[in-house]
Structure 1
Amino acid sequence: MQGAAAHRAHQAPSTMGALGRPGTILLTYLLAALELTCLFMQFSILPYLSRRLGLDPVAFGYLQTTFGVLQLLGGPIFGRFADQRGARAALSLSFLAATAFYLLLAAACSPALPGVLLLFASRLPSVLMHTLPAAQMVITDLTEPEERPAALGRLGLCFGVGVILGSLLGGTLSTACGLHCPAVVASMANLLGAVLSFTCIPASTKGASVSAQAAQPGAPKLSVFDLKAITRLLLLPGVLPVFLVKVASGFPSGLFMIMFSIISMDFFQLEAAQAGYLMSFFGILQMVIQGLVIGRLSRRFSEEALLRASVLVFVVVGLAMALMSNILHFCFLMPGLVFSLCALNVVTDSMLTKAVSATDTGTMLGLCASVQPLTRTVGPTIGGLLYRSFGVPIFGHVQLAVNFVIFLFLWRNPVSHKGDKAR
């Protein structure tokens, strides 16, 4: 504890600025909540805008795939940029890209402009829209290893706020003022986020010794686009097994969530309002579990124990999903599904950032942030084929089989590592 206090005392004067460490962390949470709220505002109007512009389901799928591919490609590069240029530059760049994203989306709503072209063009800035990984980097840099799972878990509160507030605002503003209104409001909110990031977030949240090490006069100048340096992280001890578990364990549930809008209409026979209530329930569960439950569990159990628990619950939820026949069954299994998703993401992010040096935490979190876009890129095709061929139970069977194999692997091959290279 004395070593941690000394580390913070050494770090605060050189990097924390006027807000101090607690103020910087709080502002980071607020900025993440702002960005997620705007993102879910966009999600709430995008299907209606696409329909108004005449896009068929195939073209809408291309639009979603474009977004996923750009996020997939941009995640690791953005993370490396954050490591080299610091938190202030990373957050400011992300919010500026989001401002352009929403301005183009608002322009696509105008009948006087080529809407379809602008709608696809609005996806281009998403290659630099990575506010959540940048926020995770700040939290990682400013917390001690034993505090990290709880601190990262609190970002789940931001996600829940984004789901609930963004969906509510998107629907309300589009109904009252038109489809362009949520996009205009989101662009102004992201411009505010860029101003707050540039004026209040410190240039670097890494320790003074780490910053000096990264800027040694004799060291070769590092490139943001150095793919070898990015992939090198995956070959470090203790990284690749955890990363593969992160990708494989969450992939089956990711397929289900991608197909959920169709499943809710065809299988559960839900109306649009009922599906919205269900998503609000999902957001509330994520707020409670990731923001409150995961942090408390991380103080009592090791990260490897929580990782095994998340995979085991995935197995049980997969079995229940294969047997469910109505929406009530899904509501009962949803807490287990949300717990597994939250625990998997928080614990693996924490373990992976501890396995790399402090100069590479942003790049590592950028790689982690590419997992979800990867699912969004290949998921619609795979999920659609599985759903059309085998129905809803296949998602439960796949989740059960994949996570049972992963659980056996974790039981026989511990993936925890000793020490902490980040400090």
Structure 2
Amino acid sequence: MKNTAAGVPFILICVLLDILGIGLIIPVLPQLVGDLAGSQSAQAWWLGAMLIAYGLMQFCFAPTLGALSDRYGRRPVLLLGIFGLGIMFLVPALSQSLPVILFSRILGGMFAGNIAVAQAYISDVTDKAHRAAAFGKLGACFGIGFILGPALGGILGENDVRLPFFIAGILSLLNFLYGLFVLPESLKTRERRTINFKTLNPLSSLARLTKFKYIGALIAVIALSGFAQSMLHSTWTLFTNFRFNWTPFNIGLSLVVMGLVTAVVQGFLLKKLLKVFGEQKLIL
């Protein structure tokens, strides 16, 4: 097994802090947008634009960051993404302009694509025997971040909706400094590849996957399921605020409950349910 003394722990911390930062702003972003928009309809429009821009840019630029890391190494691309995400967290904390905040979400989505580089780093520094366990820890960091982030964001944002953005930005910049001095490069020079511009198209990557038996149908299932869940999550904050006057604390608490239920089902119940129902029935 390759030396992972500094690499894997940093990647796990990197992902945890990235997801924690994203979770921190989920309960407070709608209120910040609402304070600047002036009406519920304008608030919904601007928030929707920000969510679409962030997700779309992350989808489009993940292959680009992955290709850049294949060419120039994982370390510089990871550090660039972490630093950029930290700056983009700070912009909404300081800005009074909705277009500026929207632009920060566009750039933030681009930098957030470095999650793909983090996964590539894990593959570089682990052998097949330990890779599944390492990716399991990576998934656990996702879960912890999405549970703790909204909780902290709701508490911190109850009196000041901009405070979670400051905290998220500071965490990312501290993460950058940690990586600058600790993170080793995982990709050897002889393993680096030239950039293949065909691979930069995320749709072409999905198209190649569909050539494998059953994969196309599975991708369609995952896409439609993810689409439905994304619609729920993106409208949840507005719905609960408009209908029930929920504050960032209430919204954050509800998201924590969702995260805990997901963790319990995936971590404890899934194996038992699979034995009872089987994969196909459980998916349905």
Give the TM-score range, shorter chain. Answer: 0.7 to 0.9
1:283 aligns with 2:272: no
1:77 aligns with 2:64: yes
| Aligned pairs (5 A) from 1:15-30 | 20-30=3-13
The CA distance in 1 between the partners of 2:52 and 2:226, in whole Å, is 14
Alignment correspondent of 1:152: 135
Match of 2:122 among 132, 135, 139: 139
The CA distance in 2 between the partners of 1:236 and 1:251, in whole Å, is 16
Bigger Cα Rg: 1
Match of 2:99 among 117, 123, 141: 117
1:227 aligns with 2:227: no
Shift of 1:80: 0.8
- Equivalent pair of 1:155/1:290 in contact (CA under 8 Å): no
- Equivalent pair of 2:27/2:252 in contact (CA under 8 Å): no
| Alignment CA distance shift 1:234-1:254 (3 Å) | closer
Residue identity in the other structure for 1:251: A
Match of 1:128 among 111, 119, 139: 111
Structure 2 gaps, min length 5? none
- Equivalent pair of 2:36/2:98 in contact (CA under 8 Å): yes
Alignment correspondent of 2:219: 247
| Alignment CA distance shift 1:141-1:154 (3 Å) | same
Shift of 1:238: 8.4
Shift of 1:92: 0.2
Query: Under a length normalisation based on structure 1, what TM-score does the superposition of the two structures give?
Result: 0.55
Shift of 1:291: 6.3
Alignment correspondent of 1:199: 181
The CA distance in 2 between the partners of 1:157 and 1:127, in whole Å, is 23
Q: CA RMSD in A?
A: 3.3
Alignment correspondent of 2:283: 314
Secondary structure in 2 matching 1:120: helix
Match of 2:228 among 256, 279, 288: 256
| Aligned pairs (5 A) from 1:9-408 | 12=2, 20-54=3-37, 55-108=42-95, 113=96, 115-125=97-107, 126-176=109-159, 178-203=160-185, 205-206=186-187, 208=188, 211-214=189-192, 222-223=194-195, 226-227=197-198, 240-241=212-213, 244-261=216-233, 262=235, 272=246, 276-287=252-263, 312-315=281-284
Shift of 1:282: 3.0
Q: Which structure's relative contact order is higher, taking Cα pairs within 8 Å and 6+ residues apart?
A: 2
Residues paired across the two proteins, number: 269
Q: Percent identity?
A: 21
Shift of 1:48: 0.6
| Alignment CA distance shift 1:282-1:175 (3 Å) | closer
| Alignment CA distance shift 1:77-1:246 (3 Å) | farther
Alignment correspondent of 1:352: none
The CA distance in 2 between the partners of 1:86 and 1:250, in whole Å, is 31
